[in-house]
Structure 1
């Protein structure tokens, strides 16, 4: 994969990171680089009950979608959290937890909390969430696509988030995600 292009980006990986943190570090293009702390996590802020509730809501939404569009082929794409998209070299990761003050209200009334987790916890949580969504998808007869492999492969050679907005993919990240979806759809002849 190529690095960032255009007037906003330098060709150097080191200059792509606009807000390097103190804790999070990753390997990109065989170099260890610092990335921002307090990145999106794979739902560390949720309890097991909260994750199960989210899974149940997802199942109901997917069931509704399937029943409403009976002639459509539905593919569920699992997109990992920002921090789960890279090979982490730091022993711990810094993530942001967004905790609503009142679950009945919108997220405007939420508070943000920085949390520290180990790499083992990160991988375990990412797998837990992905596996729940996969199980739900398959139980409804839907195709499940886990984009983590392709995104992680791309992140070995280029940064796929930032440098301005670390909560979303950059141009390269969206390109890799689109290519991953296309490849899987073609393999499954959908």
Structure 2
């Protein structure tokens, strides 16, 4: 009687198959790593652009709403309708002195805004400084005390950016560039002086 041979996988064939699979995996890991890094880079770029546009919209809204409230403070007479551009690359002294406000310029890294609002039938104001500083966009929350403006809280709201504020005949230009990117975001807010009104 004839016996049929049972074929199976030998240990040698298994070892060769595992060796080939190992080589394939070793070769594919660097490629996968490059793909992963590239994807992360583009996602990061897209998110940065989206965040930058959103933050500029917030700054524009604050510029629109900024004007003089009914409180007096040192340096107020040097502002134009509750807003002004300055240049400051270092530590900001507290309180903001008259020399600070007198040093207003047409193009700089810092924007001061007074934004009035009504609460419980009382007109109050908030005071904000936006500043491009060491590759970040900062927001500084200020308060009024005894006729002086004090910087109370500083927070970075956008990283890896450069930019400046510039006044022209139409209003204030917010010019922002994301680092490591060819994309520049530039927005102009027109006619903001007409929007602002004095609160009595």
Q: TM-score, normalized by length of structure 2?
A: 0.24
- Determine which structure has more spread, i.e. the larger CA radius of gyration: 2
More strand by share: 2
TM-score under structure 1 length normalisation: 0.25
Structure 1 or 2: more helix by fraction: 1
